[in-house]
């Protein structure tokens, strides 16, 4: 069973890099960064449940938070996307709250958050700009690449930029508010993660409960009984190629969604 779990983690999170030794300062920063992702993700009912968090370097990342959906997902609601933005911002928010500065570890969190906010505004009509798609894909170089051409005015472009910034700013502010409101839990998670280096979902919930967060934990969602093959499926090309929350390129604070 343990071999199966190890193999699953290698697929979802990448191979461990035990040869990469972090300094005590980097390890502490990474622990708080990941604790921020975990705290925000665990307290938001619309986010996928936290599966595991580690500060053992894996692949190109110094730390990883893995999330597993409770059911097959082929379509994304606005509430889910908003939750994903807040979880992604949780690491940077925790760094800001605890250390009063930022690190480059949030670079990929910011990239994925920006891509997701852009899709919400320009492709999925989830902003106050209404049910409209901005720009269109143009195929170039023998069908291998796509570029998105702008087909709207400078005034509209400014409104699109403002809507994207609004999604990102609100997500960051909400994530920081959650970290600040429950700083005792954030510190407890980071300290335990610093010592153990890896925490499973059950351990995370136990820490939250031990520090007065029992009522904060969302009620568990049951998996649909109907087989996935019989459920209605709605998939768009953008949703297939740009999965929200796929964070895993560089630095501490990478969020990795799993599969049901």
Q: Reply yes or no on whether the pLDDT at 235 is more than 50.
A: no
Of 203 and 244, the structure prediction assigns the larger pLDDT to: 203
Q: Reply yes or no on whether the pLDDT at 113 is more than 90.
A: yes
The residues facing 61 across adjacent strands are: 58
- Please give the pLDDT value at position 21: 63
Query: DSSP string of 85-108?
Result: HHHHHHHHHHHHHHHSS--GGGHH
The listed range with the strongest mean pLDDT (8-17, 48-57, 228-237) is 48-57
Closest alpha carbon to 93 in 53, 35, 27: 35
- Please give the pLDDT value at position 176: 97
Angle CA 117–119–124, to nearest 5: 115
What is the pLDDT averaged over residues 94-111? 92
> pLDDT class for 82, splitting at 50, 70, 90?
very high
Of 178 and 23, the structure prediction assigns the larger pLDDT to: 178
The residues facing 16 across adjacent strands are: 58
Which of 16, 26, 34, 246 is labelled catalytic?
34
Q: Which CATH class is domain 17-257?
A: mainly alpha
- What gap in Å lies between CA 7 and CA 1, rounded to an integer? 10
34 classed as catalytic:
yes
Q: How far from chain centre, in Å, is Cα 180?
A: 19
Of 92 and 246, the structure prediction assigns the larger pLDDT to: 92
pLDDT tens digits, 65-76: 989 887 787 889
- Please give the pLDDT value at position 151: 64
- Per domain, the residue ranges of the chain are 17-257
- Both structure tokens of 27: 């390890």
- Please give the pLDDT value at position 167: 98
pLDDT tens digits, 15-64: 555 555 678 999 999 999 999 999 999 999 999 999 999 998 766 667 88
- Please give the pLDDT value at position 60: 60
Residue 136 main-chain phi, psi, to 5 deg: -145, 150
- Both structure tokens of 165: 């910034």
Closest alpha carbon to 97 in 12, 33, 10, 14: 33
- What gap in Å lies between CA 126 and CA 88, rounded to an integer? 19
DSSP annotation of 118 reads H
Number of C-beta neighbours around residue 19 at 10 A: 6
pLDDT tens digits, 131-175: 988 876 545 554 555 555 556 678 888 999 999 999 999 999 999
Torsion of CA 41, 73, 246, 204, to 10 degrees: 30
Residue 193 main-chain phi, psi, to 5 deg: -65, -40
What is the pLDDT averaged over residues 70-86? 90
pTM: 0.76
CB 75 within 8 A of CB 235: yes
CB 256 within 8 A of CB 246: yes
- Please give the pLDDT value at position 68: 85
- What gap in Å lies between CA 173 and CA 179, rounded to an integer? 10
- Both structure tokens of 122: 């320009």
Mean pLDDT of the chain: 78
């Amino acid at each position: 069973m343990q071999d199966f779990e190890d193999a699953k983690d290698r697929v979802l999170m990448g191979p461990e890099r035990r040869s990469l030794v972090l300094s005590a300062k980097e390890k502490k920063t990474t622990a708080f960064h990941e604790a921020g992702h975990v705290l925000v993700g665990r307290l938001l009912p619309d986010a996928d449940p936290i599966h595991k968090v580690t500060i053992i370097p894996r692949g190109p990342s110094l730390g990883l938070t893995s999330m597993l959906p409770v059911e097959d997902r082929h379509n994304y609601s606005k509430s889910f996307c908003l939750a994903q933005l807040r979880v992604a911002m949780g690491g940077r928010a925790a760094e800001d709250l605890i250390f009063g500065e930022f690190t480059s570890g949030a670079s990929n969190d910011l990239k994925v958050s920006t891509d997701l906010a852009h899709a919400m505004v320009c492709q999925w009509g989830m902003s106050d700009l209404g049910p409209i798609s901005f720009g269109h894909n143009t195929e170039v170089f023998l069908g291998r690449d796509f570029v998105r051409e702008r087909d709207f005015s400078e005034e509209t472009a400014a409104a699109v930029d403002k809507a994207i910034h609004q999604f990102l700013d609100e997500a960051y502010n909400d994530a920081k508010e959650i970290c600040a409101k429950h700083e005792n839990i954030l510190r407890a998670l980071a300290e335990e993660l610093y010592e153990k280096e890896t925490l499973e979902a059950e351990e995370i919930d136990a820490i939250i409960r031990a520090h007065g967060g029992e009522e904060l934990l969302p009620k568990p969602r049951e998996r649909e009984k109907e087989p996935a093959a019989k459920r209605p499926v709605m998939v768009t090309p953008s949703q297939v190629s740009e999965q929200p929350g796929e964070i895993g390129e560089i630095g501490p604070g990478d969020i990795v969604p799993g599969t049901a």
